[in-house]
Amino acid sequence: MSRVLVLNGPNLGRLGSREPDVYGSTSYADLVEICVETGRDLGFSVEVRETNDEAELIRWLHEAADGKIPVVLNPGAFTHYSYALRDAAAQRTAPLIEVHISNPAAREEFRHTSVIAGVATGTIAGFGVDSYRLALRALAILRQETGS
């Protein structure tokens, strides 16, 4: 079973209580369960992590790069300004799918730019927690296409 890391940046652990009109009512625990179950159905062993610490998120991306582990990444607010996170994501050795629960392009102007998108394999945004399901399916398709 292929390993996948689902990495979440700041404030994602507050899902369900944080701005439910924007992020929905699904809790973080529910998101973890959704990712693990979807991954299992696709033949992945999924580990879901969340941090408010930029340095820790960077260390996890280094771990993924060193282990050639595919990543689903929701960088949260780091999306828009963390060049250190962008540089860590650029070192990827396996697919990296950027995800967002909301659609940043439909929100405040400062959210319209992602410094991560240019080094990601692709971006999925605006489908609520289904963005994660879609990202895991995209990884399964990429695995099938490359035979790895």
Q: What's the CA gap between 70 and 47, in Å, rounded?
A: 11
Q: Find out whether 148 is annotated in a ligand binding site.
A: no
* Active-site entry in 23, 62, 81, 132: 23
**Residue 34 C-beta-side C-alpha neighbours within 13 Å:** 16
Write out the H or E segment, with its range, that includes residue 137: helix 130-146
Interatomic CA distance for residues 134 and 143, integer angstroms: 14
Q: Is 112 labeled as catalytic in the residue annotation?
A: no
User: Side chain identity at 40, as an amino acid letter?
Assistant: R
74 is in an annotated binding site: yes
Distance CA(70)–CA(31), nearest Å, equals: 18
DSSP state at residue 9? -
- Active-site residue, from 28, 81, 83, 100: 100
The answer on whether 87 is annotated among ligand-binding residues is: yes
Judge whether 111 is annotated as a binding position. yes
Binding residue per annotation — 101? yes
Active site residue 83: no
Query: Binding residue per annotation — 116?
Result: no
Q: Which residues are designated catalytic?
A: 23, 100
- Show binding-site residues for substrate: 74, 80, 87, 101-102, 111
- Show binding-site residues: 74, 80, 87, 101-102, 111
